[in-house]
Amino acid sequence: MEYYENEQKPQRALLISVDYGAFDAEASMEELYALAESAGAQVVGSMIQKLEKPVSATYVGTGRLEEIAGMCEGGDIDLIIADDELTPVQIRQIEDATDVRVIDRTMLILDIFALRANSKEGKLQVETAQLRYMLPRLTGKGVQMSRLGGGIGTRGPGESKLETDRRHIRRKLEALEEKLDEIEKRREQLRKRRKKDGVITAAIVGYTNAGKSTLMNFLTDAGVLEKDQLFATLDPTSRALKLPNGVTVMLIDTVGFVRRLPHHLVKAFRSTLEEAASADIIINVCDASSDEALLHLDVTKKLLEELGCADTPIITVFNKSDLVESIADIPSISGGVRISAKKGTGIDALLAAIEDNLPVRMHRVRLLLPFAKTGLTAEIRRSGTLFSEEYTPDGVEVDALVDDRLYAVVREYEK
């Protein structure tokens, strides 16, 4: 359990939702529960109201709002979290009726992002998304940053660091976006350099808390934070992985997805997610033990399509298979691989699937390199596999496995 600065105990939260048929309200509420806990809240209750549509002024119906207000009278509830994106009017009306602070699903996710961001880019992206969310909500009591001081939904800039003035926030946004543009240009240059150098990239994507970081650590000893909570990893991590066939690929761990991820959050983290969009292979990790495994795969698929990854080879990985009682309970998808990243089972099958989807063909070669070209052995070690090298009077005899790019360079020295 995480605690807030200047607080002795976690905030007690009541979760509310309106089921109007646009999504699976029960499943979404379960996810909201997990999100709230990831932010450090103690969930003390939840309620779902069936309506044709949310009430424009109060989100829930008048009678239900009175019921919520009654629950808040004893002071046992510090925070109300709505499983939707609320309007400033809805937030104000619920706060007036309950005298309890109200945040919505987007504010909660932004708060977790603010908590998890470690890199300069991650922090800039979070602050940009928070400001964009705040800008249209600067009227009345819709955003009460000044009286909150460190609670859920207020991490990040807050009013203590920003005047609640539209012009000031717009200027701040412009400055942040300039910095993000500079970072994105550097990231794009790095991607171009990887392509030029023939570096193959494989992005690990998937629903949050599916075990992506555990898999990354098992394969590469990357030291990525592993935690049983949503969005434990926010900043991308890259590490080299040498496959059994000798090919080296660059594995990239990315931020996890959730259902109904607000569009402006996807936009704010687009440069981070571009790592997936530009990858040669996508490894889509899914929690096989979840009852909603197929739904999680669908959420990830739609987000990948939005990022323009429809034509990229995707390997579906059912992680945590050791937690499933029967193999028959794991969904069957063509090309899917069942693994346990924690126990290391099924990894050979995953590596074989990565090899099968490589964008390059490998060549086993025996070379006689002139002494003036012996520097090529270092290149073979870096991007291929050097089985042996032997110095002879005529040059260096090499037995190696190389890709198409390197083969074009060394083929003239084949024996």
- The reported pLDDT for the residue numbered 21 is 92
Is the pLDDT assigned to residue 3 strictly greater than 50? no
Contact 414, 365 (CB under 8 A): yes
Q: How far apart are CA 304 and CA 284, in angstroms?
A: 10
Q: Look at residue 36 in the predicted model and tell me its pLDDT.
A: 92
pLDDT in tens, 11-20: 999 999 999 9
pLDDT average, residue stretch 316-337:
79
- The mean pLDDT value for 214-236 works out to 64
Task: Spell out a b/e string for 305-341, using b for 16 or more CB atoms within 10 Å of the CB, else e.
Answer: eebebeebbbbbbbbbbeebeeeeebeeeeebbbbbb
Q: State the amino acid at position 184 in one-letter form.
A: E
pLDDT score, position 236:
60
- Residues of the chain with pLDDT > 90, as a percent, come to 32
pLDDT, the chain, mean: 81
pLDDT computed for residue 331 by the predictor? 66
How far is 90 from 60, CA to CA, in rounded Å?
A: 9
Alpha carbon 324 to its chain's center: 24
Q: Which two tokens stand for residue 223?
A: 């030291």
Q: Which of 130-139, 354-363, 370-379 has the highest mean pLDDT?
A: 370-379
Q: Which helix (H) or strand (E) holds 15?
A: strand 12-19
Residue 246: predicted pLDDT: 76
pLDDT over 90 (residue 50): yes
- Dist CA 202 CA 249 (whole Å): 7
The neighbouring-strand residues paired with 237 are 253
List Cα–Cα distances, 250 to 74, 169, 191, 203, 208, in angstroms. Answer: 55, 38, 11, 8, 21
**How confident is residue 84, by pLDDT bands cut at 50, 70 and 90?**
very high
**pLDDT at residue 139 greater than cutoff 60:** no
**Strand, helix or coil at 44?**
strand
Helix axis angle for 120-134 and 166-196, nearest 10°, is 140
Q: Check whether 254 has a pLDDT greater than 90.
A: no
For the ranges 140-154, 240-254, 298-312, the lowest mean pLDDT is seen at 140-154
Is-contact 284 206, C-beta < 8 A?
A: yes
pLDDT of residue 223: 57
Please give the pLDDT value at position 154: 62
Helices (H), 40-165: 62-72, 88-98, 105-116, 120-134, 158-161
Contact criterion met (CB below 8 Å) for 275 and 199: no
pLDDT at 49 over 90: yes
Q: Of 37-51, 114-128, 261-275, 292-306, which range is least confident?
A: 261-275
Using pLDDT thresholds of 50, 70 and 90, give the confidence band for residue 235: low
Q: What is the mean pLDDT of residues 237-256?
A: 82
For residue 138, is pLDDT > 70? no
Cα 223 from Cα 237, distance rounded (Å): 10
* pLDDT for res 153: 66
Cα–Cα–Cα angle for 21, 80, 96, rounded to 5 degrees:
105
Rounded to the nearest 10°, the torsion over CA 96, 98, 100, 105 is: -90
Give the burial class of 249: count Cβ atoms within 10 A of its Cβ; 0-12 exposed, 13-18 middle, 19 or more buried. buried
Of residues 150 and 110, which shows the higher confidence score?
110
What the block records as the tokens of 413 is 């020295």
pLDDT higher than 50, residue 148: no
* pLDDT grade for 339, boundaries at 50, 70 and 90: very high
pLDDT confidence tier of residue 222, bands split at 50, 70 and 90: low
Whole-angstrom Cα distance, residue 278 to residue 307?
Answer: 9
Q: In the prediction, which pLDDT does 6 show?
A: 43
What is the pLDDT, as a whole number, of residue 156? Answer: 60
Q: Is the pLDDT of residue 332 over 90?
A: no
Segment 97-103 mean pLDDT: 94
Residue 1 pLDDT = 34
Condensed to tens digits (0 to 9), the pLDDT of residues 182-215 reads 877 887 787 777 777 778 889 888 887 788 888 9
Q: CA dihedral defined by 121, 127, 132, 133, rounded to 10 degrees? A: 130
- The residue ranking higher by pLDDT, 361 or 133, is 133
pLDDT digits over 262-287, tens only? 666 766 666 566 677 788 999 999 99
